[in-house]
Structure 1
Amino acid sequence: MEIERINDNTVKFYISYLDVEERGFSRDEIWFNRDKSEELFWEMMDEVNEEADFVMEGPLWIQVQAMDKGLEVTVTRAQLTKDGQKLDLPDDIEERRKLFGSEDAAAPEFDEFEPVFEEPDVKKMDYTFNVVQVEDLVPLARRLEYVPIESAIYHFENKYYLYISFDDLLHSEEDVKNYISIISEYLTASPLTIHRLEEYGKPIFKEDALPNVLHYFG
């Protein structure tokens, strides 16, 4: 994780999706599971406090920017007081959540703490599949020849992987189910993420993989 101290009250840090996974969290968890996203956030803030001497006093304003390979998080510490006292954050995650939650009527009057990682405006539905040989993809590529999907092929640890990404602006959930059903006739799903493949794998086709398979092997 890369940490940059902007000023006395603001710190910025970047964490890759690979680092997120190595910490025991999945990408889906940090987008859609509030408990997990907050747990990851406070874990990172503890690290920021140790490395950048950023003391977590009072409410925090958090801005998260989703990037291709990770997250850029900017945290600003607000210097608010109540009854002349600073608002300190408790050490326990549950107590911190109560401090920022909207359900506690006695909570300090400042902006409600929203889920740390907001869902992106455009969802991309990603899937990875095991491939024996690249040329084996020709029949599948023919069946999906006119389907507008993102595709890539990587070689990683002596195996090939096909990455497929659907955009919900172009495809309905029913469309995706139908296409995944077709792909599953030829391939088996893999738990590997595109971020791990990009980080450690060798790209065969970084984009337009299925059209390229037809072009070179069809």
Structure 2
Amino acid sequence: MEIERINEHTVKFYISYNDLEDRGFDREEIWYNRDKSEELFWEMMDEVHDEEEFSVEGPLWIQVQALDKGLEVIVTRAQLSKDGQKLELPIPEDKKYSQEAEQLNSLLNDLDNEEKPDEIENEETKLQFVLKFADFEDLVSLAKHQFSGCKTTLYSLENTYYLYIDFEQLSDHEVEDQLSLFLEFGSESNATIHRLEEYGTLITAEHALHTIKKHFS
């Protein structure tokens, strides 16, 4: 796989169909199977992170172009606007993709955020994050704090706890403040809610922190 760092927020990589099949993926299946396209994407992103130290933080804009012998993928992290008031994602209007590439673009851009980039408003935003915790005691400590405007769901997978956080009706500034507090106790994870729902064990739904505080504090 070939990787090119474009700038601080954007990375481009190319994977041939032969490489894709060597990794155990069917080149036809990835166009329409959400789980397979998600698995392939995060496998590639792990390599990108190792080589370029490109971390995945917040919403992503993912562009996929099908070439004759492989896929070209461009990933851009959302960034704050110049006035610091909202998150911005690039939305290219002049790109032409095949039907298959359009389908894969749609699947991948649903991984972290069901909302489309052009639906992000100036004052309020809806964002989802997944944090991981190696120790349950860290979750107990986190639950002692007050949070509003978000739903929290707790999963376990491979001896690790994952907290899915769904922020609703909060300004970007409020999301940043609350997320910074979450990150004092947990760390960012590349796991998606789809993977957790399929392979993880649901421990507490929607009001996880409230439930933990009620029973363990």
1:59 counterpart residue number: none
SS at match of 1:151: strand
Identity score, percent: 27
What displacement does 1:34 show?
Answer: 4.8
What displacement does 1:203 show?
Answer: 0.7
Q: What is the number of residues matched between the two proteins?
A: 139
What displacement does 1:208 show?
Answer: 0.7
SS at match of 2:129: strand
Does 2:57 correspond to 1:24?
A: no
- If the length of structure 1 is used for normalisation, what is the TM-score? 0.50
1:142 counterpart residue number: 144
Does 2:100 correspond to 1:42?
A: yes
Q: Deviations over 1:154-187 (max 9, x none)?
A: 11112111111112xx211100111111111111
Equivalents in 2 of 1:156, 1:16: separation in Å? 22
| Preserved CA contact (<8 Å) 1:151 1:165 | yes
SS at match of 1:143: coil
The runs of 5 or more residues in structure 2 that have no matched partner are: 1-30, 46-59, 64-88
What displacement does 1:140 show?
Answer: 1.5
1:3 counterpart residue number: none
Q: Give 1:10-159 correspondences, 5 Å limit.
A: 15=32, 17-24=34-41, 28-29=61-62, 34=92, 39=97, 41-43=99-101, 119=117, 121=119, 124-145=126-147, 147-159=148-160
1:189 counterpart residue number: 188
| Preserved CA contact (<8 Å) 1:152 1:207 | yes
The runs of 5 or more residues in structure 1 that have no matched partner are: 1-13, 47-63, 72-116
2:76 counterpart residue number: none
1:199 counterpart residue number: 198
SS at match of 1:155: strand
Does 2:167 correspond to 1:166?
A: yes
SS at match of 2:142: helix
| Preserved CA contact (<8 Å) 1:17 1:69 | no
Equivalents in 1 of 2:162, 2:40: separation in Å? 24
| Preserved CA contact (<8 Å) 1:150 1:165 | yes
| Letter paired with 1:137 | L
Cα 1:205/1:180, change in 2 over 3 Å: same
1:215 counterpart residue number: 214
2:75 counterpart residue number: none
Q: Deviations over 1:32-78 (max 9, x none)?
A: 6559x9658424779xxxxxxxxxxxxxxxxx9x999999xxxxxxx
What displacement does 1:120 show?
Answer: 7.3
SS at match of 1:166: strand
Runs of 4+ displaced beyond 6 Å: 66-71
| Letter paired with 1:149 | C
> What RMSD over aligned residues (CA atoms) do the two structures have, in Å?
4.0
SS at match of 1:176: helix
